[in-house]
Amino acid sequence: MNAIILAGGKKGEHPNTIENKALLKIHDKYMIEYVIDSLKKVPQIDKILVVGDKTQLTQAIGSKADYIIEGTGSIVDNTIKALDYLSGEKEILLLTCDIPMITPEALEHFIKSSREKNADLCYSIVEKSLNDEKYPEVKRTYAKLKEGEFTGGNVFYFNPEIKDRCKDFVDKMLKYRKSPAKMAQILGFTFLIKLALGVLTINSIKKKCDKLMNINAEVVISPYPEIGNDVDKISDIEFVEKYLSVY
C-alpha cells in the first residue's frame, strides 16, 4: 500500500499556531522527515506521496519522498488530489505531517488492525489514561464517550473508492465545526446531546458515519499515544524536542 502525507502550509486560526509545520526544524531534521523515516521502516508501505508546497518541500526533503505534488489550502482538496494522483489503489494510509513522534510499530499496528476490520475507512484514537501515563505533561483535547475518554489520532486507513461519498460530508463538518446548530442539522440533536453527556458509544459513532457517508467505517483504539501527539501550537515544540532527543 502507498502512504499520503498532508503537508499543507496554511496558517492556523490562532496566533500561537505554526505555519508550514512540515518544514519546522526539530533538532537537525524537518518535522516531516521524522514521519517519512518512520514510514520507510514499515514493510507494508511501498511509495510515499507528499502534498503541499512543492517548491519548498522539494528543496527541503529532495528525493526522500517518492512523489511531491502541489497542494492547496484545503485539507479535503489536498486529499482528493493525492488520491487522484495515486489512482487505482485499493488501500491508502493517510497521515498528517505534524506527528514527528510516530513510530513504525504504531503504524504497523494501525495498518494490521485496519485490514482485519475490512473497512472502507479506519480512524485512530487513543485513550486518555495511556497518554497521561506516558506523556503526563502533554495537553490534548479529549471526547468523553461511554467507553472512556479518547483523543483523535492523525492516521487514517482509506479505501480511495469512497472519496466521492465522503467529500461533501467532511467539507461540511470542517466548515461547521464551530457552529453547534449547523452541526446538529447534519448529525442530529440527539447525537450531539449524547456526546455532550458522555454517553455516546464508539459503535453509535460508527453507525452514524456509515449512514451519513454510505460507507463501512471503523475505529482503531491504538496502544501507541504517539499516533495522536501532533505539533499544533508553539508550546508543543518543546515537548517533542524533549522526547525526540532520547530516540
Pick the range with the lowest mean pLDDT from 101-115, 130-144, 229-243.
229-243
Cβ atoms of 220 and 123 within 8 Å: the answer is yes
Q: Which residue has the cell 465545526?
A: 177
Three-state secondary structure readout of the chain:
CEEEEEECCCCCCCCCECCCHHHCEECCEEHHHHHHHHHHCCCCCCCEEEEECHHHHHHHHCCCCCEEEECCCCHHHHHHHHHHHCCCCCCEEEEECCCCCCCHHHHHHHHHHHHHHCCCEEEEEEEHHHHHHHCCCCCCCCEEECCEEEEEEEEEEECHHHHHHHHHHHHHHHHCCCCHHHHHHHHCHHHHHHHHHCCCCHHHHHHHHHHHHCCCEEEEECCCHHHCCCCCEHHHHHHHHHHHCCC
Q: Is the pLDDT of residue 53 over 70?
A: yes
Q: What is the mean pLDDT of the chain?
A: 88
User: Taking the alpha carbons of 117, 110, 128, 20 in that order, is the dihedral positive or negative?
Assistant: negative
Cβ atoms of 149 and 127 within 8 Å: the answer is yes
Please name the amino acid found at residue 141: T
Phi, psi angle pair for 121, to nearest 5°: -145, 130
pLDDT value, residue 103: 96
Query: What CATH topology corresponds to 2-244?
Result: Spore Coat Polysaccharide Biosynthesis Protein SpsA; Chain A (3.90.550)
Q: Mean pLDDT over residues 176-199, rounded?
A: 79
pLDDT band at 19 (very low <50, low <70, confident <90, very high): low
Q: How many CB atoms lie within 10 A of CB 131?
A: 20
Cβ atoms of 164 and 220 within 8 Å: the answer is no
Q: Mean pLDDT over residues 188-206, rounded?
A: 89
pLDDT band at 14 (very low <50, low <70, confident <90, very high): very low
pTM of the model: 0.89
pLDDT value, residue 129: 93
pLDDT tens for 34-51 read 999 999 999 999 999 999
Q: Mean pLDDT over residues 9-29, rounded?
A: 68
pLDDT band at 102 (very low <50, low <70, confident <90, very high): very high
Q: Is the pLDDT of residue 156 over 60?
A: yes
Pick the range with the lowest mean pLDDT from 44-48, 186-190, 201-205.
186-190
Q: Is the pLDDT of residue 234 over 80?
A: no
Q: Is the pLDDT of residue 226 over 50?
A: yes
Contacts of 96 (CB under 8 A, 6+ apart): 5, 6, 154, 230
